[in-house]
Structure formats: structure tokens, C-alpha cells
Structure 1
């Protein structure tokens, strides 16, 4: 079921995760409880997208207002390198997902041990390889000997057991900070060191996630929010503001003139991203990036060809109860991240997001981050949109939101509608869009895997993208 309506709903990229989240809601848990359970389940059954070795962001609408947590990791303090190999040991940053679970305990109502129990059982007793995991394994290079031993010969329908990961989850279920402090953290750091990662115990023990204020703009009749730097959320807002200023969406959505101008706008926004956005603790982000006068001048300029990659892998899900709406995203960056494995945990390669200039690699610095979540409110309704999509995320968020607002599609239609993407040196598009481009299959995960939530008059519509094995369920 890719779309559902109800007073309590879930939608994720994996049917098991959606089912487990729905069961938590059914047992009386709230949306934060269900989100922790879904997050942990995805960490086991979709290990190429995310996990304990990766990071995460959470955006929620609660009765008290908006909540936003950024738990993206920093580079080890001893990192001493100018250029990072995409999947080498220097690409690993301190993972933040488990810390995000700790932060969420301020809003959960159930014991963490109960919420992690389904994921622990799947890890210890085994789970079947799904279609997405199958393709990720087949398409991956030989990442490491540890990775090969766990995943290398597994195919669709095979069983994978991760008993060491299950043991880690059991310890985390008693105290999430044990992942960062104490014996477990020391064991993980020791294993990572043997694999060449320049990490120290202090890099883990001193890491904390943070509560952040979202950046805000307007689009038509909506207030639109995104995550601030170190994420690329501002890039989405820039695209939307420039689209609104050009009125290109008065053209049919598949008009080649609209597509071409949208691509040009995206290229300008990405150029600004690469010029101005980095970890704000190292470099302050200019305040003018969303000013209308600045964007008007910007659209008169030519731009260099920015670096845009679409090879990231991530997973996003939405959950809502009768009081709260949650969107949560978690990631390793590329499929299976660095490929480095410790205690059956696959570690991220987020350090590959470092570039040069203000975003150059430095110890205890967070790279410019591809993760973000879009939240919008207006006309008596609220929307949460998120996706897997790497560098393409700002385009995916803006296109889906524009379909909903400008082309009067319902939310599921906006998610299903054909998308196009500027990838830095070409335009790719699903074949059903019917525009000149590098043609993709009609429903291609290369243009992102979106989950979305709409809340209106006390009911929720949850959407799972048909481009994956995801599922939306009511409770």
C-alpha cells in the first residue's frame, strides 16, 4: 500500500519497518516511539542505506511547536589530510544515529529496550534479503573483507544473521551513550583503528547531537522550513524562491522550457551551496542567500558547472499520531558507506562530502551534509517531505513540493509524478516525462525515493514512493 489515510499512520522505504512502526502505534506508543523502532529496524534490514555507523536528522511538529535535531557526525580530531578517498578509512566520521535515539527519549513514552526489541530479533534470528538490498550488494564493489563475509554472496531471499550487531543493539537499548562512552565504545574504536580510521575514544565520548532552529522562507501561500547548515537545506529554499520569481510553473510541468529553466535555477543554487555552505562552527553562513534582491541578481548571472552527484544512499520515513508528526532521515552516504565494518556495523563515508575551501577536511568539523527534510504549513495543512537522493535532494524536495502546490496534485500524485534531475553534466529524467534527456526507466530510484506526510483537519495522508519496496500503513 503506497498511500494511506488515518489518524495514525506510518510510511517507510521498507515493509518490515512500516509494519513494526504501526505495531508500536497500535500498542499505544506515540510517533516518536514508532520512529525509534522504525529507525532501528531500517538499520538492520537496509544496511546499505543507514545504520548505527551512520547519522540522522529528525524534524517533528508537536503540540509545543517544531522540533529539529541534527545528529550528523564530525571528523576525528586527528584527521590530517587534504583530499579524502571516497571510501577509505579517512572518510569515516563519528556516527550520530544512536545519539539521535538518545535525544528522542525526551519525547518517547516507551522503554528503549522495548522499541529496539524487533530490530534485535531481526539481527539475531535473521532477516530475508529484500530487492533493494540485493541490488545494493550486486552493484557494490568489493568494499572490504569484513563486508564480503557478511554480504558478498547474499542475494534476494537469502537469510542474513547479524548476531554481533544484535549484541550492540542490546547494550544500546539499556543506555544509548554506551555507544559513545565506556567499554563498547572502546571496543568499536579499537576495531576501527585496526582498519586505519584515525579515531580516538574522545572523538566518540565528546560527540553530541544538537537541537537546531530551522531556516524559513515562503512559497506561494506556504511557510517552508528546511534544516540549516551544515546541511544543504538552504539550497532547496533557494530553488523554490527562484522558481516562484520566474513563474515557470505556469507552463505545463513537462514543458521543455520549464525543465530547462528549472535546471538552470538548480545549477545556480548548487553553485551557492558549494561556495557558502559548510559547518557553521567553522564558517558563518551569509544571511543574504534567501534575499529576493540577491536572487534576482543571481538569476542574471551565468554559473560554473557545480559538482552534483546522485550516488548517495539514505532512507527517510514519516510517522504521525493524533498529536505529533515526525519526519526522520538516516544515512551512510554511498551504498554501504565506507564499507568498513566493526562489530557487524557498516560505517559511513560522510567524509567524502568534504571538498575544499570553507568545506575542506578538518578535525572535529562536520562536512557539508546532503541530508535535510522539508516542512511546510499553509492553507490549514502541514506537509513533511523527505527522500533518499544524495546531492539531488534539494531538487527532489522542490519538484515534489511544486507538483503539490502549483499543479494541484494530491500528495501521492506529487510523489508519483515523473521527475527530472540535473546531475552536474547532464539532465536525467524518467521516460514518462517525455523531455529531451538521458532517459531513465518510468519509475526510477535514480530520481530519489520519497516518503511524505500531509496533515489536514485531524487526518494524515502518508505516502511511500512506488520507486522502492516501501509501504504506508494506517493504525
Structure 2
């Protein structure tokens, strides 16, 4: 893998060595180069070496590395590392900064998952810091409220108080810090507090999403979906408008909230003065969460699960998240020679899409909170089961409808960041408010928005993911990791709802099958298949869905896919956002990457 990651994809580099005895002059060579490469006319420059679509080479470092979706947050992480903090400290600091700087994707009103490589024990540890449904609201009561408010009782709205579960992020910070932290939490949170108080310039992409959210929330409030909107306006608008690219944005309420957490610890948020504010807010707007729900919140350490893909172990977290869908896809794909097909060829994209359809049908039927349902992990991740599912794929025709696996199984918008430190600890962390910036609801004077993750519950009795008091909903956010021969290699993730498992499979294949380095793997054109059956069990796939492709795909490939029956949409999204750190097992050098679809940056030292 080292050679693949260092060299990049063979045959895809922009330059090649001249054979011995070449007598061409420099002018001859430049003229030949001009005729060898057609003019694109897209105003994009050319790289001297590396894959032509890559935006840059990987960032290198030895003492530490941080890769996040906002450059200032990456710098915060590196500053914490330089101050003697661990990778866990730096990840928490960066996450706190991102909650301020990228509120469209995350914040302390959301949930958190992480995978940590601990160099002391030589193993991976998983953290599930997702929150639970209100304990005082039954399924029958929820359905009655839905019928009264919306006139239907088979789907939870994506916004408003009924979609809110207890935020798990702060609990996750303190759980992670308690095991792997070095610096005091007050020092870890200090950079985010300072930026919230003093202000920071808004990035281009975040400014775009903030502008889009305003119209959405105003409309939803007008329709009665969001119970109140004054707190959103007071927190996220400046003189009635969302902050634009380059504008200085301050969030003094969030600064005060983070300071209270730094001073009072976890209890300030879950059983203290901040909790009292949140409890009073939900009572005021008629929401079901109460102080006792916050007091009962507990993150838990879990064992990551893995499959072997061509000799590399790919790790994800088990349900209630969707990470094992990526592992199911990889198990199916392992039976084919993807390298011979060619990266982003018609055969490759067809196969990837069909494997995704099969994995996502199982995702819709079997992924749920393990405290309430015995998820058949061993069977779902077995090579035998993958072979059975693989046999359903027709390489000449796109499937319009697929079913979940054998009946025996029935018995039985987000940020990603990664940080590595000088001691070899690597943290793969993902955190989210879920769809559309979150629920639209901001508790009085606290400076953050609650997540809307509860919208992912099913409402059908007997479904593994059906709503229940105190239950964790199905989750889309998933961190990932690759190891080989017991050594850490790549800490990575790719945010973006249902894009995440199919994105993880594409990244792993790009690195393992095609030898792309961590930056090239993230910058390469992607696919996203939409239309599979939902984990809420609303809307079964009957038409094959839609295969969304980026414009970097070839026209002949698109035509071939259409002949096989795929409905194609060339679009700019949603293809997620990726960060990664590769650790050279021989030299210990870190190779960091942050892709071009976000405004992020990898920083090493």
C-alpha cells in the first residue's frame, strides 16, 4: 500500500520519464506536449505531476496532522497538538471550532461518533455518542401528535421539535477526553470560545449554505413545522441577513455556552444550568424532551467491526449507524477484478451501483439501535452472504427492484475530521446536526441549533428501527479506518447522508484497487445512487432509483450506463466531503488530504 499511496495511479500522472537516448530539444518536447493534450477550455491549470484531476499533492508531516473542512479549525487542531495535546484533544478542539464556523453541518446540538487508534494498546476503539428519543413520549403519543399537527402519522417531519433527540456531542467530547485527553478541557475549548466571542470570516461554501437555510427555515416556520424562529434569527442572522463569504461572524451566546461547559464540565450541559434552559425551552414550544432525558444521556465505547478487502482491514462502527453498508459493499465487490475494469469505467460504476442497491436494502431492514434489536452482524458481514448477494447482480442490466437478504436475518449535512499526533494516536471523528443545518430550533440564548436526527425513526410497528422511548435512531454519520497486519494506515471519512457508505467504498477501492494517493482518492469524480428504500421504511425502491454522476465522467461511459438501464443525472451534488490521514508504517510520516468539494485543509508539521 505504501508504494500505491506514494506513487499514485500508474498511467494517470501528467508526466513520464523520457527513454534513454532521447535527442529531442526542449522546444520539440513542449510542442509535442501541446499536440498530445487537447485543450479543455475550462480555465483550469495543469499540474506538473500526479493525477491531472487532483487539486494538489498530499500534505506531509511527522509530528502531527489535522484535516478538517474549515482551514481555521485545522489550525486550531495543530495549535493544540503543538501545545502538548493528544490527537483526541485536538479533535475535540477542532470539532468545537467547526460547530461555530460550519453550523450548517454540526454543533453541540448534534451527535458524534469516533474511531481512535491507540498506539499504547495497538488497537482501535469505537465511540457511539448518539442521543436518544424522549423517554416520556410513546409511539402512540408521537403518532397522535403527528396526526394532530400534520394530518398523517407515518413519517416524522425533518424539522421541528418532534425530530429532536438528545444531543450527544458534548457527552462524546468528555468521554473521548476522559480516556485519551491530556490537556484540561478549558484549554481545549479556549480557541472556539475566542473565535465565537471575537469573530471569524465566513468561508465561501458555508456562506452559501447559510444563505440557503434562511429561506428554508422561514418557509417551514410559516407552514407551522418549526415552532418558533426568533432564536434562529437572533443567532445566525446579521441585520436580518445570513453572513456572507468573508464577513466577520460572531456568536457570543455560543461563546458563553462553551465557557459554561469548560468551567462546569459535562454536567453543565446534561444536568445543570444549560439543561434548565433547554428544558424550559421545550416546555415553552411544546416539545417532548425534558431535563431527565438529558440527565440519562450516556455515550458508550464499542468495538469497531471490519471486513478484509484484498488483504486490508476496513473498519466501521456497528449500528445504529450505517457504516456496515460500506463493508457489505466491499465484500460484494471483492469478487470482481475492479482494477481490470478501470477506474470510473462503465463496468466499475455499474457494479458499484448494484452492490450499493443490495447493501442499502439490508440497511433499510436490519440496521437499528442494538439495545432494542439484535442486529445480525455476523451474517451480514460474512463472505458467504456476500457471495449470495453478488449472484443477484446482472452486469448487463440495472436492477429496478431488490429485496433485503434471507429471512433468517429477520430472526436473528455533517462534518468529518481526522487528527494524528506525534505518538501515533489517530482519531477519525464525525459529527452532525443532520438534515438542513438541524431542526431549525435554537434554545434561548445558547447559540446552537438542535439536531433533527429523530426524523430517521421508522413508525411501522415491528420494524427494527421503529420509534421507542429512550431509543437511538438509525444514524447516517460514520467514521472509518484502514489497517493492515495490525498497523494503522488510513483514518478517513466522507460526510454526506446516504453518500457516506457508497463514498467509503469508492475511497477504499480508489486506494487499494487503483493505487491513488489519499488526495487523489478524494478529488476523483464520484457517483451517488439515490432512490433506495429508506431506513424509515417509507418508499420502497421499485424503479431502480437514479445514478448521479459528477461532470468529470466520460460521455461514452454515461451512454453505456444508460444502455444498461440506469437513469443518469449529471449534477454537482450530493457527493459529500472527505478528509484523510495516511500513516507510512515504515517512516511514520503522515500524509494528509482534504478534498476540493469543501473549503477545508490538511495541515501537518
TM range (shorter): over 0.9
Q: CA deviation at 1:194?
A: 1.9
Give 2:452's match in structure 1, choosing from 323, 340, 349.
349
Give 1:297's match in structure 2, choosing from 377, 380, 388.
388
SS class of match (2:335): helix
2:344 is equivalent to residue 254 of structure 1: yes
Q: Report the CA distance shift for 1:198/1:260 in structure 2 as closer, same or farther (over 3 A).
A: same
Q: CA deviation at 1:21?
A: 0.8
Q: How many residues are treated as equivalent by the alignment?
A: 467
2:463 is equivalent to residue 360 of structure 1: no
Deviations 1:179-223 (A, max 9, x none): 001222111221133233201111000110000011121000111
State the partner residue of 1:187.
Answer: 277
Contact 2:77/2:94 (<8 A) preserved: yes
Q: Could you tell me which runs of 5 or more consecutive residues in structure 2 were left unpaired when the two chains were aligned.
A: 1-55, 144-154, 219-228, 393-398, 405-412, 532-544, 559-567
Q: Report the CA distance shift for 1:359/1:110 in structure 2 as closer, same or farther (over 3 A).
A: same
Distance of 1:189 and 1:57 partners within structure 2: 25
Distance of 2:367 and 2:176 partners within structure 1: 27
Q: CA deviation at 1:306?
A: 8.8
Contact 2:495/2:576 (<8 A) preserved: yes
2:487 is equivalent to residue 377 of structure 1: no
Distance of 2:308 and 2:349 partners within structure 1: 22
Contact 2:526/2:549 (<8 A) preserved: yes
Distance of 1:193 and 1:49 partners within structure 2: 26
Distance of 2:66 and 2:272 partners within structure 1: 35
Distance of 1:305 and 1:149 partners within structure 2: 47
State the partner residue of 2:578.
Answer: 450
State the partner residue of 1:220.
Answer: 310
Q: Report the CA distance shift for 1:230/1:296 in structure 2 as closer, same or farther (over 3 A).
A: same
Q: CA deviation at 1:345?
A: 1.3
1:24-35 alignment, distance < 5 Å: 24-35=80-91
Contact 2:66/2:417 (<8 A) preserved: yes
2:514 is equivalent to residue 407 of structure 1: yes
User: How does the TM-score come out when normalised to structure 1?
Assistant: 0.94
Q: CA deviation at 1:149?
A: 3.2
Larger displacement relative to structure 2 (428-437 or 448-457)? 428-437
2:314 is equivalent to residue 314 of structure 1: no
Larger displacement relative to structure 2 (376-385 or 250-259)? 376-385
1:313-332 alignment, distance < 5 Å: 313-323=413-423, 324-332=425-433
Give 1:440's match in structure 2, choosing from 571, 590, 605.
571
State the partner residue of 1:231.
Answer: 321
State the partner residue of 1:310.
Answer: none
Max Rg structure: 2
1:57-136 alignment, distance < 5 Å: 57-63=113-119, 64=121, 65-79=123-137, 80-82=141-143, 83-105=155-177, 106-136=179-209
Distance of 2:170 and 2:254 partners within structure 1: 13
Contact 1:3/1:471 (<8 A) preserved: no
Contact 2:338/2:513 (<8 A) preserved: no
Following TM superposition, the consecutive aligned residue runs of length 4 or more in structure 1 with deviations greater than 6 angstroms are none
2:28 is equivalent to residue 3 of structure 1: no
Distance of 1:383 and 1:173 partners within structure 2: 32
Q: CA deviation at 1:12?
A: 0.4
Q: CA deviation at 1:377?
A: 1.0
RMSD: 1.8
SS class of match (1:102): helix
Distance of 1:429 and 1:124 partners within structure 2: 41
2:367 is equivalent to residue 277 of structure 1: yes
Distance of 2:472 and 2:256 partners within structure 1: 29
Distance of 1:294 and 1:107 partners within structure 2: 37
Distance of 2:194 and 2:284 partners within structure 1: 29
SS class of match (2:401): coil
Distance of 2:208 and 2:233 partners within structure 1: 15
Distance of 1:451 and 1:235 partners within structure 2: 20
Q: Report the CA distance shift for 1:415/1:92 in structure 2 as closer, same or farther (over 3 A).
A: same
Distance of 2:300 and 2:403 partners within structure 1: 30
